[in-house]
Structure 1
Amino acid sequence: MESVRAETLRRDLAHALRTGPFSAVLHLAIEASGKRLEEIQERLSLQGISVSLTTLSYWRRGRSRPERPDSLRAVRLLEEILGLPAESLISQLGPRRPRGRWLAHPAGFLDIDRLFEDSTSVEKMLGELDNRMHQEITRLSLHDLYVLGPQRQEISLTTRQVLRANVDRVSRAVGVFRTDDTSGPRMKINAVRNCRVGRLRSDVDGGLLAAELIFDRVLSAGETVVVEYEFLSPSVEPANNYYRAFAGPVGEFVLQVQFDPTAVPARCHRFERRTVAAPDQGVKEVWIGNTHGAHLVAYDVPPGIMGMRWEWQ
């Protein structure tokens, strides 16, 4: 049983080293090493670096992060003490953060205005929902199932996410959905598994809906949750694309687009963009199978946009 736990820790640590954040890497590295904080503190002290147990605990749980020169020297020593590759922990910190609330995203994240054309509305909704997902949660996996109907219209989006808490007492995440068709009935969101819907914010004219997803239990740092929910958008206009905007890195992204048997497009392509205004990259035709669906799978997805578009004729 212990060997299974050790293997799981090694696998999670390897993933965190690729995706961050700093707190998750430090927490998993400490767990994998089997060392107590007191032992780590003593090792640092022997090298002339004084760090309190409270500070080490705060770094590990994401409540604060090292910024002063002495603290950064401690981080480099932690790499050696915990058996991590050189620069692997210090690189998770990125540039020094400006002071003040939400002045900038952590290193490796994109601002909302680079992901949404109607970013002002999205920022307003997220602000009202107190969205701290970038700081508190790491997305290990995200799976979207986008369903279209016989009139080529979007019907629903079902999303399953595997999330890991970077700090203690994480209880919720926020989901945002956008539709191009604002003429149909209002969008709805339903919780499917391991969560319930909290507060909602919408921009009807902009076709936007944001929702809190409250987990079925409060997470401690390093713990995971699998949540599943669906957006319902009974549109009337044909849809010709779907994409997901990632503000931060994601370990795995799976997108399935399911077409109605009576309305299958002539061809389908996947694409990527660094920002919403950037040109398409990585364009590649995607096979539509005999069951009238197409999919893409991507690993270690950086911040940006990824999706599929299709042509009906």
Structure 2
Amino acid sequence: MQDPKSASPDSRPPFLNTGDEPLPLDLPADPDFPTRFQAAVQRRNLSLHRMREHLKSHGVSVSASTLSMWRTGRTKPWRDQSLRALQALESILDTPPGYLTAAEQQVEKGSESWWASIQTRPEVLNHSEEYAQVRREVGLDGPPELRNAFMHCTVWYNENGQFMGARSTHIFQAVAARGERSLQATFPDAHGDRNPHRVNVRAGGRIGLQRVFEGSGQTVFELILDQPLERGQMAYVEYEMTPSRLDAPRSRPLYDVRTTNAIGQLGMELHFHPDCPPRRPKIRRHNMASQPEGTEFLDDSKDGALLLVTTDEFVANGGICMEWEWDG
């Protein structure tokens, strides 16, 4: 087998698919910007202070802290001034033209670019066609008015393992010039029943149009804030969901929270009765109702616990599902 260090430069893939010259052997072909920038800096053995001085001589001013954050991937060079700095750095660090300026700029989770990149996906819900129908009826099938910065769902089960109800709390932020509406849905499939949930808004808003689909048991409703928000403003909303009747516990119980839009932080909190604790709990984080991404088994200390809590940050689409078993 040929030693990679002795390989001909011509055997290495070009760093761009444009017929440019192959990369020097001591520069990685990885397309990620932080990887390329870090390697180029180490190759020249330049301190951040020295790089800053070299940039000044090229007529570009960049702070050492900014250069450090570029190198670690904490921030990305987006602005025109930053791109001019990258062109100068290619000369200073002696890289091929385009090595830094054409590197892939991964979108940082939680950044405005990340929020803007997420598209609404009704298909993550169990009965997406019903949700999409109401979305069109209320005129919310365009860009969202509100961003779901925070969502936390608290759920209760009784001594017989029956679902008693849930409370959903949200912090919404306006992303339009005027934001006051969001479309919400409850789907009782997760509890083994098809009876619709009653929804009661306790704080921060009211229900506008509401559709109850008897066949699936899904309730889709327009949530309207008490006061319209201007762009960037936030509001707290809380509503409860209770079943119209108590059904027998499901043989394979689970509770599922999904989102069709991005959420900054998504949490789930399940409360159980001492007479009916959960066994062998596990978590699934997934993109689609039918396509779980993976399963994470909780440690043994959670077996029989009366409180199960999990959170996830910057969820693009999909959600969290908690599964467990009942004794017997």
Under a length normalisation based on structure 2, what TM-score does the superposition of the two structures give? Answer: 0.60
1:212-269 residue CA offsets vs partner (Å, 9 max, x unmatched): 2211111000000010001111331314111111222211111001112221122211
Query: Residue 253 and residue 79 in structure 1: after superposition, are their counterparts in 2 closer, same or farther (change >3 A)?
Result: farther
Cα distance between partner residues in 2 of 1:78 and 1:197? 47
Q: Which has the higher contact order (CA 8 A, sep 6+)?
A: 1
Q: Which amino acid aligns with 1:158?
A: R
Question: Contact 1:160–1:229 (CA<8 Å) still a contact in 2?
Answer: yes
Secondary structure at 2:134 match in 1: helix
Q: Give 1:183-202 correspondences, 5 Å limit.
A: 186-202=196-212
Query: Residue 278 and residue 78 in structure 1: after superposition, are their counterparts in 2 closer, same or farther (change >3 A)?
Result: farther
Q: Which residue of 1 aligns with 2:246?
A: 235
Unaligned runs of at least 5 residues, structure 1: 1-74, 81-85, 95-104
Which of 244, 249, 267 is equivalent to 2:262?
249
Secondary structure at 2:288 match in 1: coil
Given the alignment of the two structures, is residue 140 of structure 1 paired with residue 127 of structure 2, yes or no? no
Cα distance between partner residues in 1 of 2:162 and 2:292? 26
Cα distance between partner residues in 2 of 1:225 and 1:144? 17
Larger radius of gyration: 2
Given the alignment of the two structures, is residue 263 of structure 1 paired with residue 280 of structure 2, yes or no? no
Cα distance between partner residues in 1 of 2:194 and 2:315? 33
Cα distance between partner residues in 2 of 1:304 and 1:111? 9
Q: Give 1:1-313 correspondences, 5 Å limit.
A: 76-77=79-80, 107-113=117-123, 115-132=124-141, 135-180=144-189, 186-233=196-243, 234-239=245-250, 240-285=253-298, 288=302, 292-313=306-327
Cα distance between partner residues in 2 of 1:304 and 1:78? 37
Q: Which amino acid aligns with 2:313?
A: Y
Query: Residue 154 and residue 130 in structure 1: after superposition, are their counterparts in 2 closer, same or farther (change >3 A)?
Result: farther
Unaligned runs of at least 5 residues, structure 2: 1-77, 84-100
| Cα displacement (A) at 1:123 | 1.4
1:171-195 residue CA offsets vs partner (Å, 9 max, x unmatched): 2212100002686764211011111
| Cα displacement (A) at 1:117 | 3.5
Cα distance between partner residues in 1 of 2:264 and 2:296? 21
Under a length normalisation based on structure 1, what TM-score does the superposition of the two structures give? Answer: 0.62
| Cα displacement (A) at 1:131 | 2.7
Cα distance between partner residues in 2 of 1:126 and 1:204? 18
Count of residues in Structure 1 that have an aligned counterpart in Structure 2: 223
Cα distance between partner residues in 2 of 1:118 and 1:284? 28
Cα distance between partner residues in 2 of 1:182 and 1:305? 19
Cα distance between partner residues in 2 of 1:244 and 1:183? 16
Cα distance between partner residues in 1 of 2:289 and 2:139? 24
Question: Contact 2:196–2:219 (CA<8 Å) still a contact in 1?
Answer: no
Query: Residue 117 and residue 215 in structure 1: after superposition, are their counterparts in 2 closer, same or farther (change >3 A)?
Result: closer
Identical-residue share of aligned pairs (%)? 18
Cα distance between partner residues in 2 of 1:310 and 1:290? 10
Secondary structure at 1:127 match in 2: helix
